[in-house]
Amino acid sequence: MRPATKAMKFTAAAMLLSAAIGALSAGSAFAQSAEKLTIRFTWKLKGEYAPLYVALDKGYYKAEGLDVQLAEGNGAQNVLKAIAAGNEKFGYGPAVAAAQAVSQGLPVKVASVYQTKAPMGVIAFPDIPLKTPKDLEGKRLAVSVGETFGDMLLPFTKINGVDITKITQIQMDASARTAQFLTRKTDVMSVYLSNELPQIEKRAGVTFNVLKVSDFGLNLLGASIYVGNAFAEQNPDTVKKLLRATEKGYRDTMADPKAAAKIMAKYMVVPEQPDVLERQVEATAVSTNAPAGKPIGWQEAADWESNLKLLKETGGIADIKAVNAYYTNQYLQ
């Protein structure tokens, strides 16, 4: 074999340099062409946000030509107002909050719902019987303004034949509920199974009795993606791309919650204990809406109608608009 000549070496080096420049140019072109978007969560980072971080970490958003930032928020109504004003494009939070915003006249919609039955429960220490809603009678329940179960207590008791006058409702600040429960100043407390329950059980070192409210007729629409009406109408392809990538993140999370929890751990601003984070992600995965033959996130009119009826009965909304004012499936593929 002949030794490489200077010309051959120069040609090879030039080819490598050209390839490197091409790769850099392609990367630069993507960075310039990728559409920058923020999905604003309605609260601080927690395990139930894992599917979106899986989509981000695995490059599903990037593959759709989207440069997505996932950001913390400070309450569902604040996020919804920002979307309505055009200051935010997308939000991620409970669908019931969007229902209230729409009923108040805000121009927003739910583009996808991932939980047709929000993973919510009522808990008690092991020595406090709690197997059926009837067991709530004679108990002290901490309630806070805007706390979901407290707002829905009346219809829940009606559905299950519980005498609400026999439940002692103790009004307190939301931040005090856990401490009051753990020091046994209240008997029962409502929690989200995909967030608070794993944290409180770890802190207390016990396994609580859990009453899953969805097992007893209280089916509330949970995690969802909000979008402003004007933005969605003007940018339908962007919404479709975002939902398509998010669905992939959900599918991966459902298939392997432990792997999803490890991905989520990389993004936690305040580190969570691995076993707690894993339980949060698992609870999220098992509560995800995945109707047969439909994309993850698909919404049913019947679910919306029952939720709107509950909200009206409890004073959460004054009037019910046409159901298509609240949600749309047109961006799901």
Copy the structure tokens of residue 59.
């490059």
Mean pLDDT rounded to a whole number for the chain: 90
**Last residue of a domain, which of 172, 197, 216?**
216
- Both 186 and 132 in one domain: the answer is yes
- Both 134 and 277 in one domain: the answer is no
Domain residue limits at 130: 120-216
Task: Report the C-alpha gap between 38 and 74 in whole angstroms.
Answer: 15
- Both 230 and 104 in one domain: the answer is yes
- Both 186 and 320 in one domain: the answer is no
- Both 129 and 249 in one domain: the answer is no
- Both 112 and 173 in one domain: the answer is no
DSSP string, 271-290: ---HHHHHHHHHHHHHT---
CATH number for 138: 3.40.190.10
Supply the pLDDT for residue 290.
73
Instruction: Assess contact for 108 and 227: CB atoms under 8 A.
Output: yes
The model's pTM:
0.85
Q: How many domains does the chain fold into?
A: 2
What digits encode the pLDDT tens for the residues 191-233?
999 999 999 999 999 999 999 999 998 889 999 999 999 999 9
Which of 106, 46, 102 minimizes the C-alpha distance to 82?
A: 106
Distances in Å between the Cα of 68 and the Cα atoms of 63, 245, 258 are 11, 11, 24
What digits encode the pLDDT tens for the residues 97-148?
999 999 999 999 999 999 999 999 999 999 999 999 999 999 999 888 777 8
**Last residue of a domain, which of 172, 191, 216?**
216
